[in-house]
Amino acid sequence: MEEPKFGRKSWSDARRKHPRFRTQPLHDVALAVKGPYLRISNISMGGLGIVAEGVEDPGKEFSAKLAIGKEKFDVNLIQIFRNEDVIGCQFKEPSEKLQKSIEKYFETEILASHLNRIDSRPALNNGQDKVIFFHGQNNCELLINERNGQICYFSVVVLGNCIEVDPKGTLVAGERIVDKNVPSKNGVFLFKPSEKPDQHILTLAIRFILGIEGLTPEYRQSLVQIINDNSKQLGA
């Protein structure tokens, strides 16, 4: 059986301990560093990304005030990298209260995400393949490739974090990468695999699938079962 021509283009480098959430725009999250609040491009349990445009270098280590909705936190950050788009920072000893607030924020974003079903054609128009593609707000997507009535591949993108199962039944988790120099196609994207999936991401992916109104109960049950069965191989 020929493998579906949808899915990831692997990036084997840049492993990350904490999955990085990407929402565009990132609603109700901002960071103040000795001045007005700055825009945040992404956030995770382990750190955040500051929109770099027009921002002076905050230093290798710095203190700031982080606002998540109506909550405000004093945080200590370590600058890990900077490019033309983002200043990547790691939290230094984040509090349990902060991490719970981040978790609650993204669970709320998942529930608020609206998806549209987009018609997409398989690579081979042989009458055997079927492609189902849902695209939503905040970098949330679902792609299913079906052959002869069986799901042979699918990927779920949850707030920029991806989980996919290939035709061999292998589950891979990682981070979706936005690259301005790479053309974007439905269901095709750059991808950084992680060494071990985060259980929180798997849980969010399942909640996301169960909340897709345009997906039949049979599809929901099958996808959730596949994630639960295959996540064991990665120790999640």
Residue 12: the pLDDT is 34
Whether residue 160 lies inside any domain: the answer is: yes
> Domain containing 28 — which CATH number?
2.40.10.430
Whether 143 and 188 map to the same domain: the answer is: yes
Residue 86: the pLDDT is 84
pLDDT along the chain (236 residues), means of 10: 35 43 63 86 84 86 92 94 86 94 83 74 63 81 84 83 79 67 51 66 86 88 87 60
Whether 118 and 219 map to the same domain: the answer is: yes
Residue 203: the pLDDT is 85
> What range does the domain containing 184 cover?
7-17+113-234
* Cβ burial 58-92 (10 Å sphere, 16+ → b, else e): beeebebebebeeeebebebebeebeeebbbbbbe
Bridge partners (DSSP) listed for residue 104: none
Nearest-angstrom CA–CA distance, 185 and 99: 34
How many domains is the chain partitioned into structurally?
A: 2
Residue 115 makes CB contacts below 8 A (sequence gap 6+) with 134, 135, 136, 140, 142, 212, 213, 214
Residue 190: the pLDDT is 53
Whether residue 178 lies inside any domain: the answer is: yes
Nearest-angstrom CA–CA distance, 14 and 85: 17
